[in-house]
Amino acid sequence: MSSDHFSSLSQTLLMGPGPSCVPEQVYTALSRPTIGHLDPRFIAIMDEIKERLQTLMQTDNRLTIPVSGTGSAGMETCFVNLIEKDDPVLICKNGVFGMRMEDVATRLGAAVDVVEFDWGTPVEVDALRSKLAEKAYKIVAVVHAETSTGVMNPVAEIGALLKGCDSLYLVDCVTSLGGMEVNVDEWNIDAIYSGTQKCLSCPPGLAPISFSAKAIEALQARQSKVPNWYLDLNMIVNYWQGQQRAYHHTAPINMLYGLYAALGVILEEGMDQVFDRHRRVHEYLVAGLEEMGLSMAVAAESRLPMLNAVAVPEGVDEAELRRRLLQEHDIEIGAGLGVLAGKIWRVGLMGHTARQENVDRLLQGLKILL
Ligand code: PLP
């Protein structure tokens, strides 16, 4: 069989919206021997992954596990386990992933309301407060790091607003986890999901999630069965917790080795040091871009460190520039999505990618091409 496809693969510098560059320790872990998924040695790894995720998410939630599937599987897991038909759900929407939440919740038969903000601007807490004064919601959902626009939403402030109210607080931290603080317990988050291929710097394939005691109560109080067998947490927990593990599905064993190593890399560097590195490298990128006459598409106070939306200058063919960056410099950056298509580039500084030397390489490439 020909291996031509593999021989053309290079260590492309991944500076798009994900996947990000993968450190050597994670590649090594992925290639460790596959063992049985109920082997006690594998269960020991599963248990430590849960602990490492609890540390990174800053939570004591016992139900903190990686779901088999990409970030969208994490989104589905949170919604499908918590929503029953006609449940009132409020979604904050200011980009593609808020839109995806709306789609997922609507398909599950929820009565979905949306509080919408311009793409490129953050969720406004006051507007949300007014909306919440009008009606009680079972779930209020928001995306922490809106990857489609580069905007950081005020997840901690919304958590404070929801404190003491009956609503479940559901948060997407696909792009933020591992690149900036995510504090599940302090921010009153009840259900949260992430993905491996962004700031965790592990290839795509797993979706860490965490459910609070309040979310588990809501799950247990359901009148109807969770309408999705694969993502039903009632069964999945018996695979991830307790003395006797019950087979549910065959875990993606080597992917979990990869996640275990990726979390180890972050915790070894130190969470604060990792978040600080993301912020510093982001500032270095912004300074370099501005020096070249380029400008950022998001106001400074709402910018994400790990996803930088750069305005495409007048008269530049943005797709051609991305094509040449990839072909001639082996650097990938992302295009704009939805209403921002053609208007921005999305430069990712996620996890292992977030290093000054990578920014230097990108700036050099941009200087040549522009
Ligand atoms: N949520 C956000 C904020 C994302 O950026 C993404 C992916 O880019 C997703 C959800 C979906 O994750 P995946 O593409 O891994 O299914």
Residues 274 and 314 in one domain: yes
Token pair in block for residue 296: 């950022």
Task: Indicate the residue among 267, 293, 315 that finishes a domain.
Answer: 267
Task: Indicate the residue among 267, 291, 311 that finishes a domain.
Answer: 267
pLDDT in tens, 182-231: 999 999 999 999 999 999 999 999 999 999 999 999 999 999 999 999 99
pLDDT in tens, 144-155: 999 999 999 999
134 pLDDT more than 90: yes
Residue-level pLDDT at 258: 98
Residue-level pLDDT at 321: 98
pLDDT in tens, 73-94: 999 999 999 999 999 999 999 9
**Is the distance from the beta carbon of residue 147 to the nearest atom of ligand 1 less than 6 Å?**
yes
1 pLDDT more than 60: no
Nearest residue by C-alpha to atom 7 in ligand 1:
71
Report how far residue 197's alpha carbon sits from residue 181's, in angstroms, rounded to the nearest whole number.
17
Nearest residue by C-alpha to atom 12 in ligand 1:
71
CA of 333 to the centre of ligand 1 (A): 16
10 pLDDT more than 90: no
What share of the chain in percent tops pLDDT 70? 99
Residue-level pLDDT at 8: 86
Residues 230 and 364 in one domain: no
pLDDT in tens, 250-306: 999 999 999 999 999 999 999 999 999 999 999 999 999 999 999 999 999 999 999
Query: Which atom in ligand 1 lies closest to the alpha carbon of residue 144?
Result: 3
Probe target for ligand 1 pocket from 101, 174, 202, with the most ligand atoms within 8 Å of CB: 174
**Is the distance from the beta carbon of residue 96 to the nearest atom of ligand 1 less than 6 Å?**
no
Residues 77 and 192 in one domain: yes
Confidence of residue 99 (pLDDT cuts 50, 70, 90): very high
**Is the distance from the beta carbon of residue 302 to the nearest atom of ligand 1 less than 6 Å?**
no
The one-letter amino acid at 41: R
**Is the distance from the beta carbon of residue 94 to the nearest atom of ligand 1 less than 6 Å?**
no
CA of 40 to the centre of ligand 1 (A): 32
**Full-prediction pTM beyond 0.95?**
yes
Residues 128 and 242 in one domain: yes
Nearest residue by C-alpha to atom 13 in ligand 1:
71
Probe target for ligand 1 pocket from 14, 20, 72, 79, with the most ligand atoms within 8 Å of CB: 72
Nearest residue by C-alpha to atom 5 in ligand 1:
147
352 pLDDT more than 60: yes
Question: Where residue 207 sits, what CATH number does that domain have?
Answer: 3.40.640.10
136 pLDDT more than 90: yes
**Is the distance from the beta carbon of residue 18 to the nearest atom of ligand 1 less than 6 Å?**
yes
CA of 36 to the centre of ligand 1 (A): 29
Residues 308 and 346 in one domain: yes
Residue-level pLDDT at 3: 67
Residue-level pLDDT at 243: 83
CA nearest neighbour of 38 among 249, 277, 185: 249
**Range(s) of the domain holding residue 209:** 24-267
In the chain, the number of structural domains is 2
Residues 135 and 52 in one domain: yes
Residue-level pLDDT at 2: 58
Residues 31 and 151 in one domain: yes
DSSP 141-198: EEESEETTTTEEP-HHHHHHHHTTSSSEEEEE-TTTBTTB---TTTTT-SEEE--TTS
CA of 23 to the centre of ligand 1 (A): 21
Report how far residue 83's alpha carbon sits from residue 80's, in angstroms, rounded to the nearest whole number.
6
DSSP 351: G
Task: Indicate the residue among 241, 267, 293 that finishes a domain.
Answer: 267
Residues 115 and 220 in one domain: yes
167 pLDDT more than 90: yes
**Is the distance from the beta carbon of residue 72 to the nearest atom of ligand 1 less than 6 Å?**
yes
Residues 277 and 253 in one domain: no
Question: Where residue 279 sits, what CATH number does that domain have?
Answer: 3.90.1150.10
pLDDT in tens, 101-121: 999 999 999 999 999 999 999
Termini Cα distance of the chain: 42
Residues 148 and 45 in one domain: yes
CA of 259 to the centre of ligand 1 (A): 17
Token pair in block for residue 177: 């986890």
Q: Compute the 3-state secondary structure of the chain and give helix, strand, coil in percent, each to the nearest 5.
A: 45, 15, 40
Residues 283 and 350 in one domain: yes
Helix residue spans in the chain (DSSP H): 4-7, 24-30, 40-57, 71-82, 96-107, 125-134, 155-162, 213-220, 233-240, 253-269, 271-291, 318-329, 356-369
Residues 236 and 340 in one domain: no
Q: Return the half-sphere exposure (C-beta side, CA atoms, 13 A cut-off) of residue 43.
A: 13
Q: What are the strands of the beta sheet with 307-311, ordered from one edge?
A: 307-311, 344-348, 334-335
**Is the distance from the beta carbon of residue 205 to the nearest atom of ligand 1 less than 6 Å?**
no
Probe target for ligand 1 pocket from 14, 75, 76, 97, with the most ligand atoms within 8 Å of CB: 97
